[in-house]
Amino acid sequence: MLEIDDGRTYAIDQLSKRADLTSALQFHLGCAHHVTEWVEPAFRALMKIPFKDISREIAHLMGPDAFYILSQAHTAIRDHLNILAFYPSDPIESVRCFRPGRCTEAWVSQWWQGVAKHLLHPDSGKSGREILGMLEEVSIPGMCRNCQKENVDWVKQTGVMTKADEYFEGAVEQIVAAYGSRDKGKAAATAVEDDEA
Ligand SMILES: [Zn+2]
């Protein structure tokens, strides 16, 4: 038994070093052979591939259940970002504002010109966290620092900018629950075998 375990560890170690071990193949092998420590990192790597670049081969290696979880998460994230881009957060005017009226205009304009563009960018949009960082660091044209701070703090507090991360983590949790522990991985595989029988 010890020798079998050693052989298994050796095989896993050697396979890990292969340049042709893609995330999709690693995920597939991890699920099929209960190499549970491969499942989560491989799935995280797959989630980071732009959805349009998920080839038929990748989808095939993932299997229908995991591919469904991945595609649902991507759809939820895209929908969320579109809605967030389209509806600027309601501007707050600080009681310490020294440019009444103009700061709220500046906020809405910054949203359309800056935030929305990053949220909707087809290839290299910023993440919500990066956008929050940007809003904190830049000096929004035409806006006083009191208003800027209160508006950015409000957006941060609502959690909308980190919602996409929650969808991402939710998908990872579902995968880990189905394949990520040695027992559950076996149970999932057995269930599939039973279905096929
Ligand atoms: Zn102001």
pLDDT given at position 3: 64
**Is the distance from CB of 145 to CB of 96 less than 8 angstroms?**
no
Q: Can you give the pTM of this predicted structure?
A: 0.79
**Whole-number Å distance between alpha carbons of 169 and 12:** 26
Cα(145) to ligand 1 centroid in Å equals 7
- 139 backbone dihedrals φ, ψ, rounded to 5°: -100, 110
Say yes or no: 153 and 183 in one domain: no
Cα(64) to ligand 1 centroid in Å equals 52
Cα(118) to ligand 1 centroid in Å equals 24
Say yes or no: 35 and 90 in one domain: no
Higher pLDDT, 143 or 89: 143
Say yes or no: 71 and 126 in one domain: no
Radius of gyration for the alpha carbons in the chain, expressed in angstroms and rounded? 23
How many domains are contained in the chain?
Answer: 2
Give the tens place of pLDDT for each residue, 107-154.
999 999 989 999 988 776 788 899 999 999 999 999 999 999 999 999
- 63 backbone dihedrals φ, ψ, rounded to 5°: 90, 155
Q: Which domain holds residue 179?
A: 2-77+172-196
**Is the distance from CB of 91 to CB of 104 less than 8 angstroms?**
yes
Structure tokens at 194: 């039973």
Cα(125) to ligand 1 centroid in Å equals 28
Say yes or no: 121 and 136 in one domain: yes
